[in-house]
Structure 1
Amino acid sequence: MAKGLAVTMRHMLRKSETQQYPEVHPDLPARSRGVIALVEENCTVCMLCARECPDWCIYIDSHKETLPAPEGGGRPRARNVLDRFAIDFSLCMYCGICIEVCPFDALFWSPEFEYAEYDIRDLLHEKDRLGEWAATVPPPPAHEVGAESPKELSAGSRPAPARRTAPVKGPAEGASPAQATAQETAQETAQGSVRETAQEPAQETRRETAQPTAREAARGPAAEPAKGPEGRPRREPPRAMRDIRSIRPPGSLPKNAGSPPEKKDGPEGER
């Protein structure tokens, strides 16, 4: 009991700090979850926020418009136009999932918190009110000192890799003109042999495809494909379909050529 009275006396003697609200607004952190703001120009009606909302408190309506074809050429395109975007803050639990899943940065957290109502049904706010709160969204905080820059910026400022070329060896220093000429001739001969070795397989392939083999020549000309009733060539079924015909039903056994025929019951068997 004495410890409790000591705490009470200590707070009584301490100077009180009273915030004069609403004349003086509190200094809230930059990432305070006050209300969800909407940037209508960024919304593409992808419906991700409404699908991922665990409380189903987001309502979206839209329609499609056809854009005319550009003058330079092309075709008309269709786009979604946002008609309604409403959030029922009487159901919202301020989890922030809708803001995280939005792929086009159309939803943001705003530190605004003065939107209390006397009737709970008035907490359903449409896109006009949500758009007004977008002006109260604070700018993102600056990066920490010494932190790595974003990957998007580092990739955009990175120079393109230079192409590697084979170095051309010149004549050695102090070499005579005859030695330099012999070295250049040897390099040209080596490059020509590389080209010839690369062209030989292609020439052999063309020669093999152009000239028929002796076995094919002995068979004679290829038979023409069978034609249908209209004179069009008949297409043979693929290998898989031809194999289906030979499949036996389950439980059936192959018939032996020497086995006697099966006897049937009834008058058909007596015949």
Structure 2
Amino acid sequence: MAPIPGSGLAKGLAVTLRTMTKKSHTAQYPDAQPDLPPRTRGVIGLFEENCTVCMLCARECPDWCIYIDSHKETIPAAAPGGRERSRNVLDRFAIDFALCMYCGICIEVCPFDALFWSPEFEYAETDIHDLTHERDKLREWMWTVPEPPALDPGAEEPKELAAARKAAEKLAATRAAEATQAPRAAGADPAPPASGTDEPQPPAEGGTA
């Protein structure tokens, strides 16, 4: 059946009329802050204590917008006769958000959870050089990182929690067994007396009982 001439125009006008009659839901930003989803990619925060200067984030960054400087520091031996150790000390950690494309690869590859997404997005600058955030600024963004969302009801429990729960249950079972055995040991029957020591002896001949 051939389409009726003008039916497409009528459908388009019907959509326009339905839209015109609906009430708009415009958020009056910046007076009303938007309700952002928990996984919003706003800015990256640095938890400096977890950083081991492994350089994985800088090497994997497609835009090469992460700058890291460090030096080695010698740690004296913990015990006499021990061996000295060396560790990397972070001197500079900066991210150039003028180059960053917010792919999140640096956060995913970090093996020690030193980088986190923050939903904050209001950090525009009039000078492009100010978009390079040094480690002090990145540390300030950590205070805006929300707590991780709860797992879905059908999600698998993290391996770390399962291992910690199993260890706690094993420790509780060991303590309960020790507590059960302690009263038994305290209330045990005393050992029988040795022969010839506490038993009554018969009276000697010519004596009285």
TM-score > 0.5, shorter chain as reference: yes
Q: What code does the residue aligned with 1:99 have?
A: I
2:130 paired with 1:116: no
Using the TM superposition, give the Cα deviation of residue 145 of structure 1 relative to its aligned residue in structure 2, in angstroms.
2.1
Secondary structure of 2:163's partner?
helix
Question: 4+ residue stretches of structure 1 with deviation over 3 A?
Answer: none
What is the DSSP-based 3-state SS (H/G/I as helix, E as strand, rest coil) of the residue aligned with 1:11?
helix
Deviation at 1:71, TM superposition (A): 5.2
DSSP-derived class of the 1:9 partner: helix
Deviation at 1:120, TM superposition (A): 2.3
- 1:34-84 deviation line (CA, Å, top 9, x unaligned): 111110111010000001111111000011222233356623322111111
Of 85, 104, 113, which residue of structure 2 is paired with 1:77? 85
Specify which of 31, 37, 41 is matched with residue 23 of structure 1.
Answer: 31
Please tell me whether residue 33 in structure 1 is matched to residue 33 in structure 2: no
Q: Does 1:152 align with 2:160?
A: yes
Letter matched to residue 112 of structure 2:
F
Alignment of 1:228-247 (within 5 A): none
1:2 aligned residue: 10
Amino acid at match of 1:149: E
Letter in 1 for 2:60: E
**Which of structures 1 and 2 has the bigger CA Rg?**
1
Distance in 2 (alpha carbons) for counterparts of 1:129 and 1:143: 30
Aligned to 2:106: 98
**Distance in structure 1 (CA, Å) of the matches to 2:136 and 2:152:** 36
- 1:132-171 equivalences in 2 (<5 Å): 132-156=140-164, 157=166, 159=170
- With normalisation by structure 1, the TM-score equals 0.55
AA aligned opposite 1:46? C
Measure, in 2, the Cα distance between the counterparts of 1:12 and 1:146. Answer: 42
3-state DSSP of counterpart to 1:69: coil
Give the total of aligned pairs: 160
Work out the percentage of aligned pairs sharing the same amino acid.
75
Distance in 2 (CA, whole Å) between partners of 1:61 and 1:89 is 18
Pick from 45, 54, 62 the counterpart of residue 54 of structure 1.
Answer: 62
- Distance in 1, matches of 2:22 and 2:161, equals 51
